[in-house]
Amino acid sequence: MKGKLFTKVLVANRGEIAIRVMRACRELGIATAAVYSDADRNAIHVRYADEAHHIGGAAPSDSYLQLDRIVKVAHDCGAEAIHPGYGFLSEKAAFPDACDAAGIKFIGPPGSAMRALGSKLAARKLAVENGVPVTPGSGAISDPEAALAAARQIGLPVMVKPSGGGGGIGMKVVESEDELAGAIESSAQAARSAFGDPTIYIERYVRKPRHIEIQVVCDSHGSAVHLGERECSIQRRHQKIMEETPSPAITPEIRSAMGEAAIKAAKAAGYVNAGTVEFMFSDGEFFFLEVNARLQVEHPITEAVTGIDLVKEQIRVAAGLPLSFAQDDVSWTGHAIEMRINAEDPARKFMPNPKRIARWVAPAGPGVRVDSGFGPGSDVPPNYDSLVAKLIVHGSDRAEAIARATRALREFVVVGPATTISYHRAILDSPDFRSGNLSTRFIDDHPELVEKAKQLAGEVSPFDYGPDPRHIAAAAAAVAAITQRT
């Protein structure tokens, strides 16, 4: 297989990322195989693939997390490689190990690199040994006394964090010593339940940092390149909802330093393929957080400003080919923003709102890209992540990208589930966002955005040719009035 591309790739995922990978494969002349659960029988990714295979029930544990079943399907259908997408099994070291045992290429890092980076404690240790700056913190904490001693040495406030897993699960901010014991117990319980590993540690809590990540790509021939940073500070419950590149806070000099640090961390772990090194940035300093050993949801904005197709590069690297570019070949043009359109109701604390999509019109025009696995008539199942689309815009500079994003959001029509479309419009209208005054507490610090989103949600897109919701509301009010009189 070394030196040539694959003839068939199985995509072990669903929704927009499955279609994204399949599109790259189609352009490379590679056949694709999809897998699907009971909930996804009629999903677009199933119809898009050259062939599709049922792998179980709607629950992820019965389908998309069935490692042995997925590898067997790949073997039986003649797929030479598997792309894991993101989420599900994408960062499980057992996945590339199982692929190796079956003689199938894994389009991602080796299991050894995942194991080296899968524990945040182990990753921190690796970073320190290779000169990558980390926030002051502890080792594994096993009892309240040790936690108290560590907190006093680090200095309050501190963050209690699980060593395994992610997504903000189990993370607790501790402002005073009397809160520490309860936070330790709560965090360990959450980590045990979610990740099967109760190991926790403590690190200094930075109140309003920026979350900056660096995209890296490494091949099996010793080359490693970074593709710049992504600003991922706008989050709710430690989950990103909007990303942009370049960051308004990062200078070329800082970008170069962060890129070099990211490459050091990746090389130290024996990393191969695409990955993301995450940093905390505050007052001109950056600190290593962790490595996401997979393709990120927000990878399209890096593609927009660099012109490099990351999925195609992933496939080439997995096939044993060298990177198609060197560091000196990478340049950044313009500004890009990605908005995650989730089936969630911002007015109800972002509660998921899975429903059938009655009407759907995706925006278009210059500099607009929509990645989605849904369309008119699609069911948004309650079993998985609430992401229904990614809206990516690219402009000549940040001002044009913001204007383009605002225009595209106004055009976007999704009728059925409540979505975050109007909330993104509210963010873009915020003076703090427009001035680049961002931090991971942006949403907490701007509660007024919810009310603004409610107002914007009442507007009708010029591309919505369905019944005008204002007329429906007026008719409903009239019927209610008549009913009351009678």
Q: Which residues are marked as active site?
A: 294
- Paired strand residues for 52: 34
DSSP 29-47: T-EEEEEEEGGGTT-HHHH
In angstroms, rounded to a whole number, what is the distance separating the alpha carbons of residues 69 and 411? 41
In angstroms, rounded to a whole number, what is the distance separating the alpha carbons of residues 329 and 331? 6
- State the helix-helix crossing angle for 299-306 and 310-318, rounded to 10 degrees: 100
What's 178's DSSP letter? G
Q: Which backbone phi and psi does 480 adopt, to 5 degrees? A: -65, -40
Which long-range contacts link 71-76 to residues 24+ away (Cβ below 8 Å)? 71/98, 71/99, 71/102, 71/104, 73/10, 73/33, 73/35, 74/10, 74/12, 74/33, 74/99, 74/102, 74/104, 75/102, 75/103, 75/104
Per-residue CA distances from 7 to 33, 118, 347 (Å): 11, 31, 47
In angstroms, rounded to a whole number, what is the distance separating the alpha carbons of residues 14 and 64? 8
Question: Can you tell me whether residue 289 is helix, strand or coil?
Answer: strand
Q: What share of the chain is helix, strand, coil (3-state, %, to 5)?
A: 40, 25, 35
Nearest CA to 263 among 252, 242, 279? 279
In angstroms, rounded to a whole number, what is the distance separating the alpha carbons of residues 481 and 284? 60
Written as six digits, the tokens of 219 are 């091949």
Query: Which helix or strand (DSSP H or E) is residue 442 part of?
Result: helix 442-445
In angstroms, rounded to a whole number, what is the distance separating the alpha carbons of residues 107 and 292? 14
